[in-house]
């Protein structure tokens, strides 16, 4: 099972989103064995699913 260890919003301020593009965040996941994986997802996904640090990751890694 993967859990969210850290969320980085990646908003650099000077880079604008292209039309139709949604803001993304980088999410560091950690499994029970201490392995880490970095994924990039739309911020909207986290909000819609109520995901935050410590939450179980619902998607396939």
User: Residue 37, Cβ neighbours under 10 Å: how many?
Assistant: 13
- 61: in domain: no
Confirm whether 17 is domain-assigned.
no
Find the angle CA(14)-CA(22)-CA(10) to the nearest 5 degrees: 45
Cα-based torsion angle of the residue sequence 9, 11, 17, 23 in order, rounded to the nearest 10 degrees:
10
Domains identified in the chain, total number: 1
pLDDT tens-digit map of 9-58: 866 555 677 788 888 899 999 999 999 999 999 999 999 999 999 999 99
Is residue 48 in a domain? yes
Q: Is the per-residue pLDDT at 8 higher than 60?
A: yes
Say if 40 falls within a structural domain.
yes
DSSP reduced 3-state for 22:
coil
Structure confidence at residue 26 (pLDDT): 94
- Predicted TM-score (pTM) of the model is 0.83
Inside any domain, residue 47 = yes
In the prediction, which pLDDT does 56 show? 97
Please check whether residue 32 lies inside any domain of the structure: yes
Cβ–Cβ contacts within 10 Å for residue 42, how many? 13
- Its domain, for residue 52, covers 1-12+22-56
Which residue is it, tokens 């989103």?
17
Per-residue pLDDT at 51 = 97
């Amino acid at each position: 099972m993967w859990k969210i260890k850290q969320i980085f919003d990646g908003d650099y301020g000077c880079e604008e989103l292209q039309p139709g593009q949604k803001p993304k965040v980088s999410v560091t996941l950690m499994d029970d064995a201490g392995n880490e994986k970095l994924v990039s997802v739309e911020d909207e996904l986290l909000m819609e699913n109520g995901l935050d640090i410590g939450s179980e990751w619902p998607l396939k890694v």
